[in-house]
Amino acid sequence: MATFTYADAVKLLGGNDSKIVKALDGILGTALLGGSVLSVSDLLSWFDAKAEFIRLSGELAGAVSQRRGSSRIDRTRRLHAAHSVIVIVAFFEAFDELGIPFTTKSLDMTRQRQLVLQENSPATIHDAAVPLLTPDQPYESFVTILLAWYQRLAAELARLVQRLALWDDLTETAQDRALEKVTALPKQSVRRYEELFRRLAVDCPEVGFWVARLDAQATRGTLGVALRRLSDSLVSLSTGDTPTAQRQELTLRYQSALNHPILDSGDAPGGLTIPLLSTSYIDPFFQVNDGGSTAFVAQKAWWESRQVRTDMYRFIVGYLTSPAAWAAPLLVLGDPGSGKSLLTKVLAARLPASDYLVVRVELREAPADADVLDQIEHAIKRALKEDVSWPSLVRSAPRALPVVLLDGFDELLQATGVNQTDYLTRIARFQRDRADVDLPVAFVVTSRISVANRAALPADSVVVRLTEFTDEQKRQWLDIWRHNNIGHFEAHGLRPLDLATVQRYEDLSAHPLLLLMLALYDAEGNPLQQAGAQLDEAELYERLLTRFASREVAKEGSHRTDTELAQAIQDELERLSIVAFAMFNRGSQWVTEADLDKDLAVFQDAPVSSAGIRSALSAGVIALGRFFFVQRSRATRDSQALYTYEFLHATFGEYLVARHIWNVLSDLPRRVVSRRSSAVDDSELYALLSFVPLSNRTSILGFLVERSTDPSPGLLTEELFRAADHAQLRARYTEYAPMALSTPERFAIYRANLLLLTTSLSDVVRVSELCRQPDSVVPAWNKYTRLWKATLTPEDWQAFVDAFTLHRVWNGDNRDIELVPSSYADPGDPEWLDVEWWRNREVAAGQFVYADPLAMEQEAHFLCDEDEDLKLNALRPYSNGFDHGILTVVSRSGRATTHVEALLGLFATEWTDRNDQDEYLRVLAHFHDEGHASDLIARAVFDAVRARPDQFDFRELASHAWIATSPHFWGLICTVLGTPHHGDDLAVILAEHWRPDTAYQAVPELVADAWLRMAEGGFTVPACIPDIDVVLANTLPKIAETRPDLVKRAHNFFADRER
């Protein structure tokens, strides 16, 4: 967002003819009005006249409170300018406190010196964009930005001063003191800014709303309802005029929504009152992207670290009175039922018509392919019932800021199937074009969070996410519900729904519409409260769906018998299940009406058109149009309405998928292929479960487990899994194609789902029972898993793997694999490789297992698989220095260990188990003795010991012959002799294993240094090793040129001894 420079701000506040502006222009060397470039002397003259500069700038900023502005837009610009002025004034006031005599005369500014300094002047004081506080930005973040800005100014000032004559005349102490004060200037400037800002906020209350309040004050006492405080605040800040007739008509239409129920009363059981919008809309809590990246706003995990704010009315006031609102659209995200549409209705009703020209556009009704202007004018026509152009309406409100509320961007995306990737950027372009002709406009766009990644966000966009209801919000909503229906509850002997009951169903009470659904359900006999804590989630969904389905069926008349009524209810739920599968098998949370009609035509007889309407109703409309927990999105293209459907909460669809699977499995034994065959006809199950793995939605499997009351479906899916290899092509439901997959892909996914079902319904499954090949379990499992990995997407494959906890077990003398749902047992980290199981008991300690790196490279290259390439790259160091390829050795404990793992273990920072250390050393001994990179391994081991000698037992090290006979080991002992870790046992170990003549040749400096260190430290040289005279006689000649320091120490030792 473009911000003002100091020069811009002064000219806007004072105008070219203002006495104050002319006086400031004189101080600035005509840089304000004349547009001339500041010379160094002009710049430094600011400091001569800083008192006058501060006074005049302060008067200019203070005048904003006395002049309201000619319009809301003019007022906002003036506030922006005043803020820019106080940022600069704060810097000069802080500078004034430094106490440095800083005048042009004292600086000795010769012409030549000015020319030298010209390129180093801190011109940003005059012409740089000044940081602006905006309501989306936490105040603390802005202060950090402002401090950095002041630091740049101070650094430039310091560089300038250090090049002046004055600086050369200062003593070093005076220079240090001056630099300390300049270094303190940024923090002093921030302190002065905060004081000036508080003063400006008192004089101009709008500015106070720019500060983001992150405290909990908004939750104290009664929470806000229907943004009443928004209208109260904006009315008190009004700068506008009396609306014209058309504007007044728009306002009245929008305000009337406050007196309508939040839900069509026809959806409520008899006797219940649906609360009005004005009394039941609880001000939402929210999060803001706080000026950061908008790349991940569609991901809920991205929002977890964002502060939850409770001051929606303050944020809206601050946003609409800030120039940030003109730069790009404000995007409001939320889940279905979170109140996004209601927010736009309340905003349209609460923004005062004197200062804001509001047009609310329901994108579901607007032409989907039209440009933004046409969509706005379409909404105006629907509201006023006449053709009114947007430009003429704007011209009728010269003192108001136009605000366009675009509700349902997600509906536009979903219903049209068009990405509309540039829709928001087109809005920002529209805003920029309007601002260029001095007619800025603000936009607010709502969308479900799940589709927010399908459109590019402009750089300056602010994104708000409506958060889930807190307990405080739920309590207040329940109080409103009780107040509206207390008569009904008392007349029927019912208890109002309470918070304690609602808290048991956190997901189903997270948003206002979901909470209303629970309230409507409990209002008929208090089933939620009577169930207590015994009601599991699956049973709750079954009761909810059955109750709503029975209510809709009952509306059709009472001519049915009880049996017919029960069947009609089941038919409704079955249709809803097909809807749920339509979404699940397309990998989406929503489905278009056209796709849904195709699916219903495959699985059910398509319903006939309802009589008495102007056009035939589709199967989708008839199946879903009456369930308020199914949300219908709409867009219009070529005058034709396009619909999509989505469940109010995703778990409704997941439960319905699980419910239908269970019903099909339960009925499957009665479905046979033909009279001549006992094989079951799994055509429907195959059609529904051959497109998407159930592991993509693990809650479906959880619902299945909760519904499971009979083990036979699990046995049936196990049998189907075994028979899958030889199953015939299914002749039924072939028209069902929610996505395009090949036959092998569908076969693999179906079999994967059969395994998921079998495991979930049977708790524990052994692969030997699945394949009925107890002696070939591993090859069979390899065949299954390779097919799944080859056909599933990487994301689906990982989700499938995560769904299981796998154990490698024995079935007698045969290997077996045991599978348990990961929901039953945390898979944790994979178990250590069981070499005995891996090699089918054909192992022995010290046995090597080889892998040919060339073959692995060829295979990885041929596969072109990213994961395989990454694994191979990680394994390359393991084959370095080994002629026979990548090696793994079987350790004494039966573990498979590589040399790299053993070496890394030795370098561990702490040892808690000497057994592990010994295990690693024995593993490395196998590699060393086999001649595989012997020198490399030896050097690495000795480096580990040298780095931490106190962590190793030298007696244990010496027990390994390949270590004990190495001169490097003898040298290691020598580095410890005569140190605090010295011990006579080390000398004994050395005596037992070294060959002195070899040591004198291989490590003479270490030996000489050790004996000198023992002598100098007063250590007694044990008799088992040579005395110092023998050692030095054999080592000094060899190190005379390379280690003269040791030679000198030796001479000193002998001289001292002779004394």
Cα separation, 392 vs 181, whole angstroms:
58
Q: Assess if residue 663 is contained within a domain.
A: no
Q: What percent of the chain is helix, strand and coil (3-state, nearest 5)? A: 60, 10, 35
Q: Assess if residue 1 is contained within a domain.
A: no
Cα separation, 572 vs 597, whole angstroms:
15
Angle of helix 1044-1058 relative to helix 1004-1016, nearest 10 degrees, comes to 30
- Least confident piece of the model among 405-414, 775-784, 895-904, 1042-1051: 895-904
pLDDT > 80? residue 688:
yes
Residue 757 and residue 680 share a domain = yes
Residue 487 and residue 360 share a domain = no
As a whole number, mean pLDDT of residues 378-401 equals 94
Q: Give the residue from 404, 435, 467 where a domain finishes.
A: 467
Tokens of 679: 């094989």
pLDDT > 70? residue 185:
yes
- Least confident piece of the model among 4-18, 60-74, 610-624: 610-624
Full 3-state SS string of 694-722: HHHCHHHHHHHHHHCCCCHHHHHHHHHHH
Query: What digits encode the pLDDT tens for the residues 930-939?
Result: 665 677 778 8
Instruction: Assign 825 a pLDDT band (cuts: 50, 70, 90).
Output: low
Q: Assess if residue 76 is contained within a domain.
A: yes
Q: Assess if residue 54 is contained within a domain.
A: yes
Q: Assess if residue 553 is contained within a domain.
A: yes
- Least confident piece of the model among 674-688, 781-795, 976-990: 674-688
- Quick one: pLDDT at residue 313? 94
Contact 510, 468 (CB under 8 A): yes
Q: Assess if residue 155 is contained within a domain.
A: yes
Residue 384 and residue 268 share a domain = yes
Query: What digits encode the pLDDT tens for the residues 540-585?
Result: 889 888 888 888 787 776 677 888 888 888 988 998 999 999 999 9
Residue 740 and residue 866 share a domain = no
Full strand arrangement of the beta sheet holding 765-766: 765-766, 814-821, 804-811
As a whole number, mean pLDDT of residues 310-316 equals 94
Residue 930 and residue 970 share a domain = no
Cα separation, 489 vs 657, whole angstroms:
35
Q: Assess if residue 1030 is contained within a domain.
A: yes
- Quick one: pLDDT at residue 499? 95
* Higher-scoring residue by pLDDT: 100, 769: 769
Looking at residue 138, what DSSP letter applies?
A: B
Name the residue among 641, 639, 549, 631 with its Cα closest to residue 594: 641
The count of structural domains within the chain is 6
Q: Assess if residue 657 is contained within a domain.
A: no
- Quick one: pLDDT at residue 829? 63
Cα separation, 223 vs 183, whole angstroms:
46
- Average pLDDT of the chain? 81
Residue 247 and residue 184 share a domain = no
Residue 773 and residue 866 share a domain = no
Residue 863 and residue 1004 share a domain = no
Give whole-number Cα distances, 937 to 630, 923, 962, 963, 976, in Å: 67, 11, 11, 11, 22
DSSP 411-479: HHHHHH----TTHHHHHHHHHHHHHHTT---EEEEEEEGGGGGGSPPPTT-EEEEEPPPPHHHHHHHHH
Query: What digits encode the pLDDT tens for the residues 448-459?
Result: 887 787 788 898
pTM confidence score:
0.71
Residue 935 and residue 796 share a domain = no
Contact 4, 129 (CB under 8 A): yes
Q: Give the residue from 588, 622, 650 where a domain finishes.
A: 650
3-state SS class at 1023: coil
Q: What CATH number corresponds to the domain at position 397?
A: 3.40.50
Name the residue among 510, 437, 433 with its Cα closest to residue 477: 510
As a whole number, mean pLDDT of residues 302-314 equals 91
Residue 492 and residue 455 share a domain = no
Residue 193 and residue 131 share a domain = yes
Q: Give the residue from 190, 208, 226 where a domain finishes.
A: 208
- Quick one: pLDDT at residue 375? 95
Cα separation, 746 vs 862, whole angstroms:
25
- Quick one: pLDDT at residue 152? 87
Residue 572 and residue 705 share a domain = no
* Residue span of the structural domain in which 769 resides: 668-824
